[in-house]
Structure 1
Amino acid sequence: MKRNTGCGCGKGHAHGKCPDMPACDTAKSHAHFCEAGTVLNPGEVEETIILGDVPVQVLTESDICLPTFATDVKEIRKNIHLTQCRAMPAAPSPTDPVGFTTNVKLFVEGYIHKNIQFVEDCEGYVKDYMVNVPFKCYTRVTGLAPIPIPAFSSKNATNNEIREIGKDGMAANRCAFGSNTFEFLNEPIKCKLLSWDLTEGNFLGNFDNWGRFDKVTEKDDINLVLRLTQKQLVDVPPTMI
């Protein structure tokens, strides 16, 4: 069976989540105190909002080489697996509420897992050959439920640096400095595959002297339905007396 032996950035240990930043050392700190400020968003509810169910069409073409020559393809079983579905808020439309957008840029990647069953001659056993057909697409989606425009962060100390003047009044004091950095943590937009539909065309090629083939060119029309969701603050209506 043929295998993908290409090199790349996947040689390390594959993790399903982003690991914590490694700590080279731990500094010695002193006693601290904290003080609570004015409470924000009292009485509101944090709920998962369905931004929309998005139909996405992907067209892909692949050349599949069978491990041996075949006389006929009996059946091709198929499953679709997504390896990436990422939505990033895009610029708002003129009619969107202030501070919100109804548009995203959608990045989708995955593969079609195909189990090809074929025969090599007029009689004999049916053989199986499994292969993954990758696909990807990037598109803009409009008309979603309002999405808060992400707040930006500043983690580079040189952007908001605080400097003191030196004792001679001629330059900055290189031994005393500070900065202002900040992060706003935005809720991610999550994606879920609800359904898929696949229409394919198969075209045989690379025939030998006995009319057998070992190449199948497939043209796939993939139609996905993706649900985009996000956690948002929802106002609780006043209780009716």
Structure 2
Amino acid sequence: MKKNTGCGYGHKKCPALPPNDKAKSRSLFTASEQFANADDQEITVVLGDVLIQSLTEADFYLPTYARAIKNIEKNVSLTQCKAIPVVDNPNYVKLFVEGIVHKNIQYVENAYGVVKDYSIDIPFKAYDQVELANPVDFPFDFEYSVKDNVLQRRELAKDGMGADRCEFGSLTFEINNEPIKCKLLASAVNQWDIVKNFDNWGRFNKVTEKMDINLVIKLTQKQQPNFDPPTPPPNDDDLCGDSYYANTQNSQNVYSKFRKIIGQ
């Protein structure tokens, strides 16, 4: 049996799928329609600047016993920031934030001598639902829920007693929405240190830190211009036909046309 040495570790980004077999195919027909004007451009919308807080406690040991801590420098960096829209409410997202507080600790072992330097990373997490200044844009969102994205099609068998097992088809679709991006604008760490584990000379090597971590995060999303379909004229017998969409394609909403294709 071939040994699996990858295990998915070591990838900074989502790796590509392994290569698959390829079938021979023929493209018989291609059609396209445009729905936007030349002046319309994709824009980056600021959804909001969010203040989120994490209360974190950590224990760590110094490499040697210390008489006193002289200084602690702190730097905050994020290892994960993901905003998930709240169902049926584009004005809120659930924010998942993870990061590291990098600490550089300077301490002395005795009343005289050199100052020692010790660095440690303390992970933290912050999860919360936050309100946005501008709503999330999901142009392919539907007015009602879609339980399955596959519509199976079968033909009646010749005897009329069931489905033909040799011919079948389906309609499938995937929705690729623009992601919500995060940017760390500012951070503040308010901490309280408690030293423990003393030796016979009153020195310590264990520190318990209680941190109040405050982050200011900017959430942005690329959004498409809003193209509203024109108001149909009254008493038009062909409102649902292809000619209506063909005559108004320059102002037709592309997302509404996609909904029509998949039967939504």
Q: TM-score range by the shorter chain?
A: 0.7 to 0.9
Distance 1:198 1:131, change over 3 A: same
Aligned equivalents of 1:14 and 1:156: distance in 2?
34
Number of residue pairs matched?
A: 218
Contact 1:55 1:223 in 2 (8 A): yes
Matched, 1:140 2:129: yes
Query: What SS does structure 2 have at the residue aligned with 1:160?
Result: strand
Tell me how far apart the structure 1 counterparts of residues 167 and 141 of structure 2 sit (CA, whole Å): 28
Q: Work out whether residues 138 and 177 of structure 2, in 8 Å CA contact, stay in contact via their aligned partners in 1.
A: no
Taking the aligned partners of 2:156 and 2:7, their CA distance within structure 1 comes to 50
Aligned to 2:36: 41
1:160 Cα offset (Å):
1.3
Q: Within 2, Cα distance between the matches of 1:11 and 1:77? A: 37
Q: TM-score, normalised by structure 1?
A: 0.81
Aligned to 1:196: 187
1:108 aligned partner: 97
Please report how far the alpha carbon of residue 161 of structure 1 lies from its aligned counterpart in structure 2 after TM superposition.
1.1
- Describe how 1:12-91 pairs up with structure 2 within 5 A: 12-37=8-33, 39-42=34-37, 43-91=39-87
Q: Which has the higher helix share?
A: 2
RMSD over aligned Cα, in angstroms? Answer: 2.5
Instruction: Give the whole-Å Cα distance in 1 for the aligned partners of 2:14 and 2:213.
Output: 30
Alignment deviations for residues 178-226 of structure 1 (CA, whole Å, 9 cap, x no partner): 1110122111111100011111111000111221111100011111110
In structure 2, what residue type is equivalent to 1:89?
A: P
Alpha-carbon distance between aligned partners in 2 of 1:155 and 1:162, rounded to the nearest angstrom: 17
Structure 1, gaps ≥5 residues long? 1-9, 94-100, 237-241
Note closer, same or farther for the CA distance 1:130–1:150 as it changes in structure 2 (3 Å cut): farther
The one-letter amino acid of 1:168's match is D
Runs of 5+ consecutive residues of structure 2 not aligned to the other structure: 1-5, 228-264
Separation (CA, whole Å) in 1 of partners of 2:19 and 2:170: 22
Q: Give the Å deviation of 1:85.
A: 0.9
Q: Shift of residue 13 of structure 1?
A: 3.8
Separation in 2 of the partners of 1:202 and 1:54?
28
Letter paired with 2:51: P
CA distance in 2, matches of 1:234, 1:149: 12
Deviations 1:70-110 (A, max 9, x none): 111111111001001111111355xxxxxxx2111111000
Q: Which residue of 2 aligns with 1:218?
A: 209
Stretch moving more, 202-211 or 226-235: 226-235
Greater mean deviation of Cα atoms: 114-123 or 220-229 = 114-123
Change (3 A) 1:191 1:21: same
Task: Pick from 121, 124, 132 the counterpart of residue 113 of structure 2.
Answer: 124
Measured at CA, do residues 162 and 11 of structure 1 come closer, stay the same or move farther in structure 2, by a change above 3 Å? closer
What TM-score comes out, normalization by structure 2 length?
0.75
Looking at structure 2, the residues matched to 36 and 143 of structure 1 have their Cα atoms a distance apart, in angstroms, of 36
> Residues 185 and 12 of structure 1: is their aligned pair in 2 closer, same or farther, counting only changes over 3 Å?
closer
Map Cα deviations across residues 87-140 of structure 1 (whole Å, 9 max, x no partner): 1111355xxxxxxx2111111000100111112222222222211111011111
Instruction: Give the direction of change, closer, same or farther, for the CA distance of 1:80–1:87 in structure 2 (3 Å limit).
Output: same
